[in-house]
Amino acid sequence: MRTRALMYHDVVAGEDWESSGFPGPWSQYYKFNEAEFDQHLRAISGAWRGAAPAGGEPRDGALQITFDDGGVGARPAAAALEALGWRGYFFITTGRIGTAGFLDAAGLRELAAAGHCIGSHSVTHPTRMATLSPAELREEWKRSTETLAEILGQPAPVASVPGGYYSTEVARAAAEAGIRWLYNSEPVETVDEVDGCRILGRYAIHRGHTAGDAAAYAAGQSWICWRTRFWWDSKKLIKRAGPFYMAIARRLRQ
C-alpha cells in the first residue's frame, strides 16, 4: 500500500495568526491565511490526477489533506476543501476542545457530518511525545480517542503524532488504544505496520513552501519529494551519530 499525505495546520483570516490553534512564532510557521490556502488547493488540484481526496479510512493510492492541532481554522480549511468536492483529515488535541482558538464539540460534529475524518492528536500535545513512558503514551491515546468517540458517537481510529515525535513505542500505545491508522511526519509514501496499526508518513507544508511546492508534493515523484526525503534521512543519520555529529558536520562543510 502507498499513500501520499500533506500535513497542514491552521488556516486563518487575513493576518490574524493567533486566532486559531497554538500561539507563537513556531506555530505560525505552519499557518496559512485563507487566500494562500486557496492558492495551494488550486495548485494541488491542477497537479493531482487521482480520485478526489476523501475522508474515511486512508486508501491505497489516495491523496490525503490533513490538518493538525484542532484549531478553529479547521472551518475555513474544510469549506475550501468542500468547494472542490474534497474532504480532509482533522487531528484534534482533545485537551484543548472548546478553549480559545480551538474547535468545540459542536464544531467537531459539524466537520464529521460534512464527511471529514476526525482523529486524535493526543490529549495534551506533548512537546516530545516519544520521550513519554509507555503508561503516559497509553493515556494520551486512550483518553483522546475516548473523548472523540463520545463527541462523535462513533470510534475514532485515525490519529496523528504531535510534533512528529514518532517512535515504535508511540505506535504500540496507539494500537493498544484502538488506533488503526497513525500519521507521523516522515516524508514517505510507503506504509508500515506496528501491532495492527498502519503507520503513514506525510509531507509537512509550512510557510517556506509556495503553492507550487504543495502541488509538487501532491504530484509525487518530484524533486521536492526527493530533496525532503534526503534531508530527513540525513538528519536521522546525524542524530544517530550522536557524539560524532560535529565531526560529520565539519566533513559535510568541506
Distance, CA of 160 to CA of 7 (rounded, Å): 10
The footprint of Zn ion on this chain (CB under 5 A) covers a number of residues equal to 3
Q: Does 140 bind Zn ion (CB under 5 A)?
A: no
Gap between the Cα atoms of 42 and 167, Å rounded = 34
Closer residue to Zn ion, CB minimum distance, 69 or 140? 69
Looking at beta carbons only, is 165 or 232 nearer to Zn ion?
A: 165
Least distance (Å) from Zn ion to the CB of residue 70? Answer: 9
Part of the chain binding Zn ion (CB under 5 A), chosen from 66-74, 186-194, 203-211, 217-225: 66-74
Helices and strands per DSSP (H, E), number in the chain: 9, 11
Residue 6 or 47 having the CB closest to Zn ion: 6
- The DSSP 8-state label assigned to residue 243 in this structure reads G
Least gap, CB of 209 to Zn ion (angstroms): 17
- 78 within 8 A of 68, measured Cβ to Cβ: no
Q: Identify which of residues 69 and 189 has a Cβ nearer to Zn ion in the complex.
A: 69
Alpha-carbon distance of 233 to 119, in angstroms, equals: 28
Nearer to Zn ion, 10 or 68 (CB): 68
In the complex, least distance from residue 243 CB atom to Zn ion, rounded to whole angstroms: 31
Burial group, residue 119, by CB count within 10 angstroms (0-12, 13-18, 19+): buried
Is 162 near Zn ion (CB under 5 A)? yes
Q: Which is nearer to Zn ion, 121 or 198 (CB)?
A: 121
Q: Does 73 bind Zn ion (CB under 5 A)?
A: no
**String of DSSP letters for 109-122:** HHHHHTT-EEEE--
Return the exposure string of 50-68: e unless at least 16 CB atoms fall within 10 Å of the residue's CB, then b. eeebbbeebeeebbbbbbb
Which residue in the set 68, 140, 186, 189 belongs to the binding site for Zn ion (CB under 5 A)? Answer: 68
Q: Determine if 119 is a binding residue for Zn ion (CB under 5 A).
A: no
Closest separation between CB of residue 19 and Zn ion, Å?
17
Measured distance CA(32)–CA(231) in Å, rounded: 24
d(CA 226, CA 205) in angstroms, rounded, equals 15
Q: Which residue is nearest to Zn ion (CB)?
A: 68
CB of 99 to Zn ion, least distance (A): 15
The radius of gyration of the chain from alpha carbons, rounded to an integer in Å, stands at 18
Residue 69 is a binding residue for Zn ion (CB under 5 A):
yes
Residues within the interface to Zn ion (CB under 5 A):
68-69, 162
